[in-house]
Structure 1
Amino acid sequence: MRQQFGRPLSQFGMVQRHLALAAANLYALESMTYLVAGLLTAQPKRDLRIESAAVKVFATETTLSLLNDCATLAGALGFTDQLPLERYLRDSWVLGSFMGVNDLLRLYIAASSLSIAGREMCEFVDKLRRPYQNKLYILRETFLKDVRLAMMRRRWRTPAVGATPMPVTERGVRASLLVRDHLHHNLRPLGDRLSRVVVHTHELARQALILNANNVNEDQFSLRLFSDLAIGLFAITAVLSRASRAKSIGIRYHNNELELAELFTVDMLDRLETMVANYKTKDNLCKRIASVILKENGYASASPLTRVW
């Protein structure tokens, strides 16, 4: 075991953080992979191209991040022949371009998802694109949306997730649309946060379809946002469902799985909530900076030593 300052590296907090986040991300990667594989096994004819693309993007980027952390912990040995990390890192870079570049897969995930959402929201979008003929409908929908979001912000109500009510099952039971009702009670607060992000994503999709219904596929800033949200939400769903099952049936290491799930979910939800809150500001900044770079045909910034006197 490597030592520094006369102590094993495992005793340092930064190293422990690397190990914990690596384990949490690996747990998420396993959960997503087994979930999609299980769905394909149970329903071979089911169209899971979007989910498979999400797994590929998450897997390649997570693998690269994990291997980079491993190389950091290994120090100089990470780039010698004594350890295989150098070869693993090289191969992980190749995986990002194999079976489709990740950026193209992101566009596919977002465009395909919006096309499905557009079919369900077509009546709503059509009425909002003709506001003078549907004033009362728009006022009612706007009021309901504001009330729903205000209640979510004040934690008065946990939003239901689902475009339409669930049908009654063969046993005469209607399944709940609340995520928390399908999770172990230790994970229910995270389920509530997940539900809120899902509802915000739904509202953003509505806005995108209203503003750019005819050429939504051309707005790649929004497409990247939706793809990152979709991948993150899918990963959280897979992690929470796996950890909830492990705890409920008493699988070995179930308490550790709960902590892995909580760490990954909190970290991912923080990122997704930041995306939702700041996407307009970042997108506008990126557009303006890119236009200056293209206009100047390069990096447009004066030297820090430039003087005007």
Structure 2
Amino acid sequence: MNEYTQAEIGHKTNIEILNILPEKVNAGEDLLIQVRVTSVSNNDLLGCKIQVIDFSSNNVTETELNFFNRIDNDTYEFPLKAPKEPGEYAWTVLFPAQQKEGTLFKESSMQFSFIVKPHMITISSWGVLSPVTQGEKFKVNIGVKCSAGCSLAGLPLFVMDDNHQQVAVGHLREEIMPQTNGFYWTEQELTAPTDEAFHKWAIQCRAQELEIQHQSLPETFLFRTAKPPEHKIMIKVINKFDKSPIQEAYVMLGLYKATADKNGVATLVVPGGNQELYITKDDYISFQTSLEISEDTDIKAELEYCPVL
């Protein structure tokens, strides 16, 4: 009968992944993994190598077993860098055949899969004061954030009008907006159309210029263009019965809005023509009337007190 040494026979091993891996991970993000290896004889395998192999049999990373509890051999939790290209991946964690103290331990492996997803970019806008005077300059604030916290400093932006024509190009500022977490922003100057109408414009970013693949949806914002305001209208809002001023009443004259001050006065500058005046305040009956505006005018509006029980 032939005689074989321990190194020639080899001990069978088993490998497993200890932690629960996410099904999806952002492109280029770290994926944390911890591995356990056991042998049929519960051998000490401290210092033995562990490899992670990708779908092309390339070595992604290598570590070693760090803990032994008289039965199991574990690694520390170690990071794997996810691919930058989105898609489905199947990798293998491998305990290659290797010797320790003259004993051969056989290869064992386990496959795991995950989906790499592109980073999502969220675009938001604010600060457009509607209505906008026909043909005049106005500004919109634009904020952009990556779901994985990537730097978006200097990212190109462009604004499209109702007809999908580009009307402006800009770039995000280099610094993050104060008191936010990874929120890059800029203030973009635009020129209003010369018609008198509602408009729906869109903001997009050139995400293809980033190193890792990103996806984003356009951000739309609405505004109304109107004739140039030319008449100053001062509206005094008072209680119908005791004639006391009503402060913080909401006043809307045509497309223009204001809030009454402590004296019950709201001042608006509006274009000429027929305008609807609407005033509301909690616990008061709303006031509404039509006005023909042709000059600067002072108006008194009396609201009837009617508390909600």
Give the alignment's TM-score, normalised by structure 1.
0.19
- Bigger Rg, structure 1 or 2: 2
Higher relative contact order (CA 8 A, sep 6+): 1
TM-score, normalisation: structure 2: 0.19
Q: When you count strand as a share of all residues, which structure comes out higher?
A: 2
Higher helix share: 1
